[in-house]
Amino acid sequence: MCSRLVAVALLASLSAFLAAPAVRAEIRTEVVEYRHGEVVLEGFLAWDDQRATEKTPQPGVLVCPEWWGNNDYARSRAKQLAELGYVGFSLDVYGKGKVTTDPQQASAWSSGAYADVALLRARTRLAYDLLAARKFVDKTKLAAIGYCMGGTVALELARSGAPLRSVVAFHAGKLTSLGSAEDNAKITAAVTVCHGQEDAFVTAEEIAGFHEQMKAAKRDYQFLSYAYAVHAFTNPGADAFKIPGVAYDAAADRRSWAHMKSAFAEAFAR
């Protein structure tokens, strides 16, 4: 009789356990205001609070935005990274509130950023340090990704000597060093460039120069080219800008994201 009662009790406990709702992961987000000198910058942090904790810190990934500024698209990529278990942080190189959909304004801002390489690298490194300081981030496993101008920014962060495991540049407009070619020797990351084969904004000379610089510095890199894809191929909203040579390509977007995940899996396993 006793054994039957114990069995019934155990069965009831098991049923209750199985019926209990599973703890669901929640993607947390935070707008992060920070300063570089007198300039206020605004970043966006995203993480899975069930995976990334002080006891189980996860790799951190910087997201370097397109020339439009730290907009919703850049932030959506940070959230996608959080869904993969990473801590995503989309950074700001212009200043709080500097987000636009006007190509002329974006061109002016990006030209100004490119003109001062030291400032660009310093602001990007500041975002790197902020991400690394989070207690739920594994500061030994950091990476950077970037889109269009942001791809260039991610490469420049690597050239600054920031300790990165991986850098992935999606349709970067400028591939060779904005500073000295010798800066490539400071790169610690495995570099992946995801390039649209029909990208009219990147010359054959620029691509050749990138290969030459990386080989001269004996860096670990791969250059992936997606047939038929043009500039900004990862952005579903690219067509709305009505800029010739700019368009979304779903296949190239999907494949390049998969290549990024593969690059991270290899880099973070070391």
The model's pLDDT over 8-32, given as tens digits with 9 standing for 90+, comes to 444 445 444 444 444 566 899 999 9
pLDDT at 24: 60
- Quote the pLDDT of residue 218: 98
- CA proximity to 265, closest of 133, 139, 134, 85: 85
What pLDDT shows up at residue 4? 52
Task: Give the separation between CA 26 and CA 6, rounded to whole angstroms.
Answer: 38
Fold of 26-269: Rossmann fold (3.40.50)
In the block, which residue shows the tokens 């935070």?
30
At 1 the pLDDT is 47
On whether the CB atoms of residues 89 and 121 are closer than 8 A, the answer is no
Rounded CA gap, 44 and 77, in Å? 10
How far is the CA of 124 from the CAs of 92, 127, 157, 218, in angstroms? Answer: 8, 5, 6, 24
Q: Give the separation between CA 100 and CA 54, rounded to whole angstroms.
A: 36
**pTM of structure:** 0.90
Express each pLDDT in 197-224 by its tens digit. Answer: 999 999 999 999 999 999 999 999 999 9
pLDDT at site 217:
98
pLDDT at 14: 44
Find out whether 246 and 231 touch, Cβ atoms under 8 Å: yes
**Whole-number Å distance between alpha carbons of 18 and 2:** 24
**Spatial contact of 189 and 161, defined as CB atoms under 8 Å apart:** no
> What stretches in the chain show pLDDT beneath 70?
1-25
Tell me the domain boundaries of the chain: 26-269
Say what the pLDDT of residue 28 is.
97
Is residue 51 within 8 A of residue 134, CB to CB? The reply is no
Q: What is the pLDDT of residue 5?
A: 45
Task: Give the amino acid at 25.
Answer: A
E strands, 17-136, in order: 27-36, 39-48, 58-64, 87-90
Identify the pLDDT of residue 160: 98
